[in-house]
Structure 1
Amino acid sequence: MKTKIIKVHPEDNVAVALADLWQGEVLSIDDIEVEVFNDVAAKHKISLVDLDEGDKIFMYGVLVGKATVPIKKGGVLTVDNVKHQAEQAHKKTETTGWTVPDISKWKNRTFNGYHRPDGQVGTKNVWLFFPLVFCENRNIELLKEVFEKELSFRKPSREQLLLRKLIQGENTTESLQIEEEESEIFDNIEVKFITHQGGCGGIRQDSASLARLLAGYVNNPNVAGATVLSLGCQNLQIDIFKKALERINFDNRKPVLLFEQQQMGTLDEMMSKIISDSYAAIKEANNITRKPAPLSKLKLGLECGGSDGFSGISANPALGYASDLLSALGGSPILSEFPELCGIEQELINRCVSDDLAERFLELTRAFEQSAIDAGSGFDMNPSPGNIKDGLITDAMKSAGAAKKGGTSPIQDVLDYGDYVTKPGLNLLCTPGNDVESTTAMVGAGANVVVFTTGLGTPTGNPVAPVVKVSSNSTLARRMPDIIDLDAGGVIKAEKTIEQMGEEILEFIIKVANGEETTKADALNQDDFIPWKRGVSL
């Protein structure tokens, strides 16, 4: 490690501790000496100047907070001496230029994907089961048990094997091996099941929003077809779902099997019909094989969660560079989590390719923030206890680092929750900052791969799209190797540049898209799905 602190932007008046710092330690940065005023844990920030009460604090070149009490030069920033503050965004004031990265080594590259009738290309081939209303969750679970057991879609987990040995009287956990089951009946398709708590009981707008999300999942290029269960009397009627699907793709040619329990007699009759029809459709979908496709067919979800003080200087900017490479190749990166864009809205507004898009982003952001305020909260309450413990003490500080996932490319479209990506280049999608809600929404918007950066670790996955985990630090990668796919800690240790790590991320994405690499989340069968409930219950 060449230095123990780093100043991210020339205009910053704070630095990030790359290692633990000790009181009295003297450090040099930008030809000035800083004596550490008190012990500082790695990932936290120290002031490079004497700050008076009310003075502004800058990091990543933007306002991220203000001092609530005097802070000595070399002093650590905490929730006790710093308060959230961010610049207010206004209309588009300029058009930000973009230096297009060199894409020569990827220009003629392809990935082997599943081609759909509408021209989209999947990185997986999934048959999806889901309900329109929570009343059908039990039936979905019954179908899951039947299909996974009889079609050998899921090997027994380590935990299941452990329980099996304990039942048999073996009290050892040593040498647990995944036993070989009988060979799978289908080798070219996955069957996935999702449940939710919506579809009825809330306001009608919630059901309409859920319909758009589920329609997006059916339209996602990774989905070959779907089995959909309805009770019959719920708010989210079959007709509403059909219209939502037509809105996204008026010429949908994927098989969608719809079953309404209140019109089908007994449960046994209904389940027999669902199983026989779905089996025939899955058998047909298994005939779809991988074929070459250009990298422009990749729609990449950009996610972060369990972030730490290193996320914004290693994993996130590296993913941002991969995002820029994909944008230049004609692909579609998706940046979401609007509460985690707080404080850098003006930069994003100026990156929008038109005034209309800039205004749409501003309107969506303001409406979202106002809804949080009306509920007695606000974007300033976004950092989690884990974020704060590891150095992200204000929302603006967290946001400035989180936004690095979006790179520097122009913003080609701005989408509300439930909208679907149709334009190449960087897309903004209005979602919460919650990891699973955001990931769920990006896949519903068409993402066929998601890259998820983390500093603290999270098992989050998705039933439809592979989720690649990138750690911001090597300690996490060593501690939780079962959930981390790539380690960006080399950037912190000055062993790799941001650009080198970004290229490594893109290469891994291509391997995942090819089916050559299985993400750790997929290996763990981590199928998380949480719709965003924006309204109240009635």
Structure 2
Amino acid sequence: MADTLAPPVSVMKIGAEDDVAVALQPLEAGVDVKVDGEAIRLREAIPAGHKFAVAPIAAGAPVRRYRAPIGLARCDIAVGEHVHTHNVRTALSGEQAYAFTGSPPRVEATASSRTFRGYIRADGSVGTRNELWILPTVGCVGRLGERLAARANLKQAPGVDGVHAFNHPFGCSQLGADLEGTAAVIASLALNPNAGGVLLLGLGCESNQLEQLLQRIPEDRRERLRVLRAQSAGDEFAAGEALVEELIGLMAADKRTEVPLSKLRLGVKCGGSDAMSGLTANPLIGLMADAVTQAGGAAILTEIPEIFGAENLLLERATSETVFERLSELVNGFKRYFIEHGEPVSENPSPGNIAGGITTLEEKSLGAVQKGGLAPVQDVIAYGERICARRAPGGLTVLEAPGNDAVSTTALAAAGATITLFSTGRGTPLGSPVPTVKIASNHAVAERKAGWIDFDGGQVLELGMAGAAEALLTRILAIASGEPARNESNDERAIGIWKRGVTL
């Protein structure tokens, strides 16, 4: 035995069949760690969040974590060796054939006594904010929108939580499906319950014409919507100010009301992940998704390239063969998207993910899908589509969007999320149009970037999963009731639109 022992709680292993465990803190070579009651001597130093072998792994054999393969061994790996990109490779390739089993899970709805204070809209949806959103149809008027928002916020109108403009560079020089995606996202953002008023701001000559955009907005949702064509106004700034003041006047009477948890719409997202994300923050978010969906609310999962290798965990929860087919086609369609652009489907994780201990896309995906909890997959929707367009809330919806943080958080808001839970192991200040609650996977990033982080998911190691989940739900409901998320306090609010086509 070595002369030095690791601290008692220094490693974590998920399943009995796993070939690896994760170091919860930096461990030196030569120390002995306890795994499943057995002492393992580390052959190498293991950085925090990185893996080491707890069983011998033969060259070419699957390497298991989360009770599933995360890749194939490049060479023989001995017990106690560091397991990472130098000795493990991905097993992902192209499209796959999937078979519907016909036995989706049945999860009974559970009444919840938990509530939050939100804004009840005319259609029965509930916002966590009462904000005026200025949405440009085209990048040419993006700065005009920002100037209008800055002027309006100086006046601090009572009853309004803020005026925000969401600049972007698109809306012109786009064709076909690419332009369609931009228009769909802008129109869907205009219908988010957090927007108590919306100013659609156009130029006049852009491809993303206001007339066509308005056709995407139901008539019964236009009472709180105003339109400005900058080329048609003599003084576009004065005209914009007048419309903003008109909308603020309509919003001033809106009040927060106590509503049940079932009225919450959660977006779930991860970014800057590390190997701890799948042990702490992502399972915590999954418990939040379960709590909300079991109460009758909705949760939305996206980042399709970051479920490659773990898609079967979602496919087996499809509530119908139709949902199963849409989800399998969505996954394979994204793989074709990569292949047609000459890129391997496994071109992930990022350099930051790798530095944090994630070795392959399979490993990243197996950790990432935990954000969806155990809720049945009730629907699969296209980029720019809204969750209420096809079903009532009460389950998990999978949304078409890439993993890019700005693009995917925007797509979640466009789909109807009124608050997004965002796990991170490395930290990011990014925020979306809705409160973007950052959940750290470890104590170190929570302490070092306290100005970015809303909740320390590393508390799982002390409080247990149930205790940390209770604390997180309390924090989420406080934010849903008006307490600012860190991204709001830092004025980190932006949108990213998925650019896929030719630019003229």
TM-score, normalised relative to structure 1: 0.88
1:497 aligns with 2:464: yes
Residue 79 of structure 2 is matched in structure 1 by 73
> Hey, what's the Cα distance between the residues in 1 that align with 2:417 and 2:229?
29
**2:450 aligned with 1:484, yes or no?**
no
The answer for the alignment partner of 2:68 in structure 1 is: 62
In the comparison of the two structures, how many residue pairs are matched?
492
Q: SS state of the match for residue 358, structure 1?
A: helix
Letter in 1 for 2:470: E
1:235 aligns with 2:223: no
Distance 1:119 1:31 in 2: 54
Q: 1:19 aligns with which of 4, 19, 25?
A: 25
| Paired residue type of 1:376 | G
Deviations 1:84-123 (A, max 9, x none): 125956122253536669x56xx23322211111111111
| Equivalent position amino acid for 1:97 in 2 | P
**Distance of 2:56 and 2:129 partners within structure 1:** 54
Written as runs of structure 1 = structure 2, the 5 A alignment for 1:358-397 is 358-397=324-363
> What is the alpha-carbon distance in structure 2 between the residues aligned to residue 99 and residue 186 of structure 1?
43
Amino acid at match of 1:472: S
Q: Secondary structure of 2:83's partner? A: coil
Q: Is the CA contact (8 Å cut-off) linking 2:31 and 2:41 kept in structure 1? A: yes
Residues 1:437 and 2:407 are matched in the alignment: yes
**Mapped contact 1:189–1:285 kept (Cα < 8 A):** no
The equivalent of 1:146 in structure 2 is 151
What is the CA distance between 1:361 and its match in structure 2?
0.6
How far apart, CA to CA, are the structure 2 residues paired with 1:217 and 1:456? 29
Instruction: Look up the SS of the partner of 2:221 in the other structure.
Output: coil
Bigger mean CA deviation after superposition, 111-120 or 29-38: 29-38
> Partner residue of 2:417?
447
Pairing 1:314-325 to 2, within 5 Å after superposition: 314-325=280-291
1:209 aligns to what? Answer: 181
| Alignment partners' CA distance in 1, 2:194 and 2:356 | 36
Partner residue, 1:421: 387
Aligned with residue 474 of structure 2, among 475, 488, 507: 507
List, as ranges, runs of 4+ consecutive aligned residues in structure 1 with deviation greater than 3 Å: 86-89, 96-101
> What is the deviation of 1:467?
1.2
Deviations 1:175-203 (A, max 9, x none): xxxxxxxxx34343311111101101122
Q: Which amino acid aligns with 1:64?
A: I
Q: Hey, what does 1:170 align to over in structure 2?
A: none
State the TM-score, normalizing by the size of structure 2: 0.93
Report percent identity of matched pairs. Answer: 35
Is structure 2 residue 133 aligned with structure 1 residue 128?
Answer: yes
Q: Are residues 490 and 278 of structure 1, via their aligned partners in 2, closer, same or farther at CA, if it must alter by over 3 Å?
A: closer
Whether the 8 Å contact between 1:62 and 1:343 is mirrored in structure 2 is no
- Report the Cα offset of residue 24 of structure 1: 2.2
- The amino acid of 2:406's aligned partner reads V
Matched, 1:275 2:254: no
Residue 6 and residue 96 in structure 1: after superposition, are their counterparts in 2 closer, same or farther (change >3 A)?
farther
Task: Write out aligned runs for 1:185-196 (5 A).
Answer: 185-196=157-168
Relative to structure 1, is the Cα distance of residues 419 and 65 closer, same or farther in structure 2, using a 3 angstrom cutoff? same
- What CA deviation, in whole Å up to 9, does each residue of 1:481-517 have, x standing for no partner? 111111111223xx122222222222211111112x2
8 Å CA contact retained: 1:91, 1:349: no
Question: How far apart in 1 are the matches of 2:28 and 2:147?
Answer: 58
Q: Deviations over 1:438-483 (max 9, x none)?
A: 11110010001111111111111123x1111111111111111111
Matches within 5 A, 1:345-364: 345-364=311-330
Task: Give the whole-Å Cα distance in 1 for the aligned partners of 2:145 and 2:70.
Answer: 46
| Matches of 1:431 and 1:136, distance apart in 2 | 26
- SS of 2:34's equivalent? strand
Query: Is the Cα–Cα contact under 8 Å of residues 310 and 366 in structure 2 kept in the other structure?
Result: yes
| 2-structure distance, mates of 1:449, 1:349 | 25
Cα 1:368–1:295, aligned 2, differ >3 Å: closer, same or farther?
same
Query: Equivalents in 2 of 1:73, 1:278: separation in Å?
Result: 65
Alignment counterpart, residue 251 of structure 1, candidates 215, 220, 223: 220
Aligned-partner Cα distance in 1 for 2:108–2:68: 23
Q: Deviation per CA, 1:34-65: give whole Å up to 9, x if none.
A: 22121111110111222222111111112211
Are the counterparts in 1 of residues 135 and 190 from structure 2 also a CA contact under 8 Å? no
Alignment of 1:323-342 (within 5 A): 323-342=289-308
1:90 counterpart (86, 98, 105): 98
Letter in 1 for 2:480: A
Q: Look up the SS of the partner of 2:26 in the other structure.
A: coil
**CA displacement, residues 275-326 of structure 1 (integer Å, 9 cap, x when unaligned):** 1122122122121111122211100011111111111000110111111111
CA contact (8 A) 1:91 1:359 kept: no
C-alpha distance in structure 2 between counterparts of 1:139 and 1:188, whole Å? 21
CA distance in 2 between partners of 1:33 and 1:291 (Å): 56
Q: Give the Cα–Cα distance (whole angstroms) in 1 for the partners of residues 493 and 228 of structure 2.
A: 23
Task: State the secondary structure of the residue aligned to 2:217.
Answer: helix
Distance 1:37 1:77 in 2: 11
- Answering whether residue 188 of structure 2 is matched by residue 198 of structure 1, we say no
Task: Give the Cα–Cα distance (whole angstroms) in 2 for the partners of residues 18 and 510 of structure 1.
Answer: 29
> Are residues 14 and 99 of structure 1, via their aligned partners in 2, closer, same or farther at CA, if it must alter by over 3 Å?
farther
**Of 20-29 and 415-424, the range deviating more from structure 2:** 20-29
Change (3 A) 1:94 1:24: farther
Q: What residue is the counterpart of 1:312 in the other structure?
A: 278
